[in-house]
Amino acid sequence: MYPILFEIGPFTLHSLWLFVTIAFIVGIISFAKIAKRQRLDLGMLFNHGISIIFITLLISRLTFFLGNLQYYMPTFSLHGLLSFFFIIDKGLSFWGALAGMLIMFGVVSLKREESILKWLDALIVPLGTGIVIANFGQLLDGQAYGIPTNLPWGITYESINVKYTVPVHPTQIYSMLYVSGIISILKKYRKHEFLKHEGNQTLIAITLYSFIRFLTEFLRGDDVSEIFGIRIASAISLVIFFISGYCLYKRIKSFKKKPIITD
């Protein structure tokens, strides 16, 4: 594909960083519109935006770094420790970024004595949109690629970052499709009474995403750390699916028991 879009002298434009930047900008604009429509106080973003971004990146990098210690520090060394700060190597964790963002929104919401759930509901669609755009950057860069396949839509990379020279599953496109599907479902049914309750949109999105992400991980071909022979991302996805799924089940059960008020 095209990991590098063009080079001018010492300047190199990497496709992944370009689309991650676009994803961030589009996500922020989308979130601002939704927050305004839902009458959320955007002053929170202006006052805490830098700290939210910093902590999100920090935990994202830390999660990836610790999960790939065999690569960064095969033996303990100062160079290995310093490599933590070289984020230009594209070593960032999605789950780490999500955790960092949730932690910061939780802390800020607690300080402001507000419910974090309404903020999370407003974040779901912008976050999903950002994931779709970033996935396209991964596709061009050769990140998060799949295992070999004989299916007609398999893609072939000519990159040192991809260990296969045969067609592989375009797992980045799979992600773009199912995340777009989740966004479409939430938009189509956003006026449903159940989705009007704070946190329900978030639970539906997380439950669906974590389950499909768990299945998609079996088609991934890139090397990552494992625990008991299972990819760490798969294990995290499965745990999150059961937790969010249980919470969603309890909410649906409670919603169905809600008495119907008639005139």
Domain range summary for the chain, segments of one domain joined by + = 4-254
Provide the 8-state DSSP code for 70: H
Residue with tokens 């893609």: 155
Q: Of 70-74, 109-113, 161-165, where does the model show the most confidence?
A: 161-165
Evaluate whether 138 touches 155 at the Cβ level (below 8 Å): no
The yes-or-no verdict on residue 137 having pLDDT over 70 is yes
**Strands 4-8 and 11-14, bridge-based pairing:** antiparallel
At 43 the pLDDT is 73
pLDDT classification of 259: cutoffs 50, 70, 90 = low
At 180 the pLDDT is 95
The yes-or-no verdict on residue 27 having pLDDT over 90 is no
At 1 the pLDDT is 67
Evaluate whether 130 touches 176 at the Cβ level (below 8 Å): no
- The pLDDT tens digits for 56-73 are 888 888 877 777 676 777
CA angle 158/160/165 to nearest 5° reads: 45
At 154 the pLDDT is 93
The yes-or-no verdict on residue 17 having pLDDT over 90 is no
Q: Specify which residues 82 forms β-bridges with.
A: none
At 263 the pLDDT is 45
- The pLDDT tens digits for 173-229 are 999 999 999 999 998 988 889 988 988 999 999 999 999 999 999 999 887 767 777
Mean pLDDT across 33-58: 80
170 closest CA partner among 194, 199, 119, 135: 135
At 262 the pLDDT is 46
Mean pLDDT across 22-42: 83
Question: 44-51 — which CB contacts under 8 Å span 24+ positions?
Answer: 44/108, 44/112, 48/104, 48/108, 51/104
Mean pLDDT across 237-246: 94
pLDDT classification of 250: cutoffs 50, 70, 90 = very high
